[in-house]
Amino acid sequence: MKMKHEQPIGIAVNQLGYRSQDTKIAVIPGQGGRFHLVDDQNGETVWHGSTSPAIVDAASGQTVSRGDFTGYEAPGTYRIETEDGQTSAPFVIAESVYEDAHRALLKAFYYFRCGMALDELHAGPWKHEACHLTPAIVHGEESRQVDAWGGWHDAGDYGKYVVPGAKAVADLLLAFELYPEAFAQPLPLPESDGSMPDVLHECRYELEWMQRMQDEESGGLFHKLTTLQFPGGDVMPEADTAALYLSPISATATGCYAAIMAMSARIYAPYDEPFAASCLKAAERAWAWLAEHPDMPGFRNPADIATGEYGDGQDADERYWAAAELYRTTGEGRYHEAFQALAKQNAFGKYELGWADMGGYGTFAYLMSEREEDPELAEVLMRGLIQRADELAAVSERDGYGISLHPDQYIWGSNMLVLNHAMLLLIAGRLSGTEDYESHVHEHVHYLFGANVMGMSYVTGYGAKPILYPHHRPSEGDGVKAPVPGLVSGGPNKGLQDDYALKHLAGKAPAASFADVMESYSTNEVTIYWNSPAVLVLSHFV
């Protein structure tokens, strides 16, 4: 069994480094005191400081203090040392530190591709053959098959799911809409053409798969495409040859699809008008299905399917998002009326950004729309967004590592919450015209790349101590020592939801409930929708 970097260690810093004028914080276990910034090349001390008063940090289970060296801006490679002998990993101070990681986080989606060979030119040693090309059986209609090849593998397994796929594409398209300059340089991809940015090429690969998932007869969306069971932990995608099944149509998948297709129609129009038109047509057809099915039950796996469920008891948030995007794209009053009615419901969060609650995307679409025709509703939504951002900032102020999670939020995929919160803080700041939240966003990024109780970068291939053994079947089965780069690990999970965690992590503090082993899928799996908010957040800094 592979294990590495499992115990919390030393002084925690952003192992990628710090931009010269950004907030720079080191988290130091213990009572604190004097600390030193040391030139890692010659050992000379270049900065002295005193930590903040120590606090007991409930999430990490540590007493910690914080050393602020924001005022030091000279480029170079450094480490933090204390007078009692603690030291940090080396890091840089530079004008730019995130460009390579940003590109890797985006390139990861290429490595998640299904249905095509990943060639050595674009995939390097992580190449593999084409996979999952057989038509899928429609569950419950065994004589009917649909050719729904393509798209992205969702996570460490090879399932493909509309709902989390829509969240991932939404994050990437939002990133492009807000920070187009961050995507000026090609990755490159096989489709790179010097005309359309590569982020749009990559999203299109998923969007075209989603279009194949729309039922030709009804316009609804099949919820997912998977085998009946997960394959073994080291099975490469091309060796996963079990029969593929389309799970039944769901309202949540159809609502997400209507939303993301309407959003795509708007974003792709300047680059490929026929594709944009196909997206809008698909969105309108999905909306018609939603209108015809106002009271659909939540999706649950059929009894013989054991792959990821992505179940959801209600679909108001997906309908809210779809109405907002269709209104923003078309300006049609019927979509505005539907949005206004859904906005009055309390069944979902208006500022959540996870696959189980998509309400935040609907709120963003409405507040960013130039078609706003209900200023009172917009004002209510904006006040709520600022209130939510202020709440997250207040939690960050109290947390020992500067992030916005309460101890009980270290759940499966806690790093998605970290990044979703950072994303919300950025967009709240942008829409309100304030920079008050930016220092908190810095600390969320620092946490991802090593300023955490584990002293690890939660991104494969990046940082002095990155995760090495993610729960990701291609990384386990390809014979390459290093995992696929640019993958965001799910992160600490106090729930003890796999056998390894149950045996080895019981009694750990919430933020320390993590294991860098393939076997701990509940802490160390990877997914497209943990990478996607990371791309958006880093886009702000490149």
Q: Is the dihedral of CA 408, 414, 420, 424 positive or negative?
A: positive
Q: Which of 57, 171, 284, 525 is catalytic?
A: 525
Tokens of 202: 């990559």
Tokens of 103: 């590109």
Rounded Cα–Cα distance for residues 55 and 77 (Å): 29
Those residues whose C-beta lies under 8 Å from the C-beta of residue 534, and which sit 6 or more positions away, are 105, 419, 448, 459, 488
Those residues whose C-beta lies under 8 Å from the C-beta of residue 532, and which sit 6 or more positions away, are 167, 168, 169, 170, 171, 172
Active-site residue flag, 193:
no
Those residues whose C-beta lies under 8 Å from the C-beta of residue 189, and which sit 6 or more positions away, are 110, 122, 198, 201, 202
Side-chain-side CA neighbours of residue 96 (13 Å)? 10
Helix (H, G, I), strand (E, B) or coil at 225: strand
Rounded Cα–Cα distance for residues 436 and 58 (Å): 25
Rounded Cα–Cα distance for residues 496 and 498 (Å): 6
- Residue 5 contacts residue 516 (beta carbons within 8 Å): yes
Rounded Cα–Cα distance for residues 365 and 355 (Å): 16
Nearest of 486, 396, 388, 298 to residue 59 by alpha carbon: 396
Q: Is the dihedral of CA 462, 464, 467, 472 positive or negative?
A: positive
Active-site residue flag, 84:
no
DSSP 8-state assignment for residue 76: E
Helix (H) or strand (E) holding 245: strand 245-246
Residue 243 burial (CB count, 10 A): 10
Q: Which of 154, 315, 478, 516 is catalytic?
A: 516
Rounded Cα–Cα distance for residues 289 and 503 (Å): 47
Helix (H) or strand (E) holding 57: strand 55-57
Which H, E and C letters describe 311-336, residue by residue? CECCCHHHHHHHHHHHHHHHCCHHHH
Phi-psi domain of 76 (left: phi exceeds 0; alpha: psi -120 through 50; beta: other): left
Rounded Cα–Cα distance for residues 66 and 334 (Å): 53
Q: Which residues are catalytic?
A: 516, 525
